[in-house]
Structure formats: structure tokens, C-alpha cells
Structure 1
Amino acid sequence: MKSFNVRVYGLLINEKNEILITDEEIKGFRFTKFPGGGLELGEGTIDGLKREFIEECNLEVEVSEHFYTTDFFVKSLFSDEQLLSIYYFVKPIQKIGFNIAVLPFDFENQETEQKQSFRWKLINDLEDSDLTFPVDKHVLKLLKQK
């Protein structure tokens, strides 16, 4: 049986040309990516992305423009599924109220199995090695060309 995993991500860029990234740890595996996650059955990509931002950041966003959809094969690191990742530019429609970390993986006072922190990083200072997943690295390259 063929199986796809559709992921939606938001590129949130502030007035300083910094982009929001998230550091996460799940069951001891640490990774850095753009905010977003898996689409749920029966959900459109824009609604899914809005839901992900509320779940991850407690932030309502406006999805402003499609940026990129995966155009090469990527196998999931966690299953035998093929990943399809869709990236949109997003803008906050409320004041950002979550904590912004300075250091990577700053999970202060998080004792759960799943940990998460957010950082702003200048797009021009963000490097391939700062991101974990291959599609995010490709999107970063495209962002820097834009």
C-alpha cells in the first residue's frame, strides 16, 4: 500500500528579517525545523497550518502566500511513508505571546517527553546545519535566493 504523509509549515518572518524556527525533542531525538506539522484527514492545507500554529505556538496566523511544495522524493525518517511538504508565508494576527529562546534547545522547566522552544534567526545567518530535515534545508536555500 502506498502511503503519503502530508506536512504543512509556516514561514513567519519579522520586521528584522528574522525567521521563526522551532527546536524540539521527542523521545530523546532532537531536531530544528520551521513551525508546522502533519495534516489531519479531512483538513485543507491552510486550515491545517492554522491549527498547527495554534497547537504549537498558541498563535493565530494569516496564511498569506504559498512558497514551496516538495518536488523531489523524501522518505519519512520515522516511517516508510513518502513525505509531501508544503510551505506558506504566514503573518501573526495577534501579538506573539510565547517565549523566545536565545540558545538552541532551551527547554527550561519542560519535564515532558515532548519538548519545544522557539527562536528567531536572521535568514542570512541561518545555515543548512541549523536545520535538521532535508526539505527545510532546501527551503532555506530558496529563501536566501529570493
Structure 2
Amino acid sequence: MHTLIVTAAIIHREDKILIAQRKRDADHGLKWEFPGGKLKFGEDPRDGLRREIKEEMDMEVEVGEIFEVVSHIYGERHILLLCYTCRYLGQRPTTRDCQDFRWVTPQEMDDYDFTAADLPVVKKLQLKS
């Protein structure tokens, strides 16, 4: 078993947060998640998160403080998910490397089928709102 270190962005725009839908042919296809992705070996998590958001959604964010850390096991893979609060800089996201995206309130997140690793983050956001 190996551990993958993955970053995710909690991007706020007023009272809503950006969520992204995984592509159909990806692991956990069509599930919803907070945008981000795997770190490259030796990459700083904040730099990796900025890179992933640019690659996945063609937008820039300002990465802030850590919001939550989630440890989750999918079969033979251990995921360590580092979630950071991020500031939206006004650039409209695109679906460059995701199926779809939405701006939703924490309460509206119950209407979306999130990946298991993202569920603790959803719950924490709902408790804070």
C-alpha cells in the first residue's frame, strides 16, 4: 500500500464554494469534489494546489491556511487530503480537466454525490455555515 498526497481548494465566492465533477472515465468518475489534485514528488503543497487549479480549471487562486486534513483509504490506496482555504481572484473557471463545476452553498452540497474522502470536508463546511 502506498500513500498519495492530494491537495484540494475550498474556494469561496461570497457565500458559495466551488465544487468540480470528475470526468466520467476518471477514478470515481462523475463524483463531485473540491478541485485540486496529486502533488508531484517534493512539491510544496500550496504550489501544487495552485498548479492543479490552473491545469484543471484554468484559473488562479490565492492559497491560504489549511482548512482540514483527511486520511482515507480506497482499496489499496491511502489518500492524505490537504484542504486549503483559497481566495477567488475573479477569473471564471473552465472545465479544462473536469466534467462540470458549480458554485454551491455548504447546505446545497447534500444534493451532490461527493467522493468519500471529501465528505468530512463537506460536513465541516456545513457546521461552520
Q: Same fold (TM over 0.5)?
A: yes
Q: Deviations over 1:99-144 (max 9, x none)?
A: 5xxxxxxx8xx9xxx75221111122221x6132122111111111
Once the 2 structures are TM-superposed, how far is the Cα of residue 14 of structure 1 from its aligned partner? 0.8
Q: Deviations over 1:27-63 (max 9, x none)?
A: 2732111101111112011011000111011111111
Which amino acid is the alignment partner of residue 58 of structure 1? Answer: D
Name the residue aligned to 1:19: 17
Specify every segment of 5 or more residues in structure 2 that has no aligned partner in the other structure, as ranges.
none
Which portions of structure 1, spanning 4 or more consecutive aligned residues, are displaced by more than 3 angstroms?
A: none
Q: CA RMSD in A?
A: 2.2
Which amino acid is the alignment partner of residue 97 of structure 1? Answer: R
Q: What is the correspondence of 1:38-77 to structure 2 with a 5 Å cutoff? A: 38-70=38-70, 72=71, 74-76=72-74
> Residues of 2 paired with 1:57 and 1:21: CA distance?
11
**Between Structure 1 and Structure 2, whose CA radius of gyration is higher?**
1
Aligned residues: 126
Cα 1:124–1:115 change in 2 (3 A) is closer
Specify every segment of 5 or more residues in structure 1 that has no aligned partner in the other structure, as ranges.
100-106
Q: SS in structure 2 opposite 1:41?
A: coil
> Residues of 2 paired with 1:41 and 1:90: CA distance?
23
* TM-score, scaled relative to structure 2: 0.85
Name the residue aligned to 1:87: 83
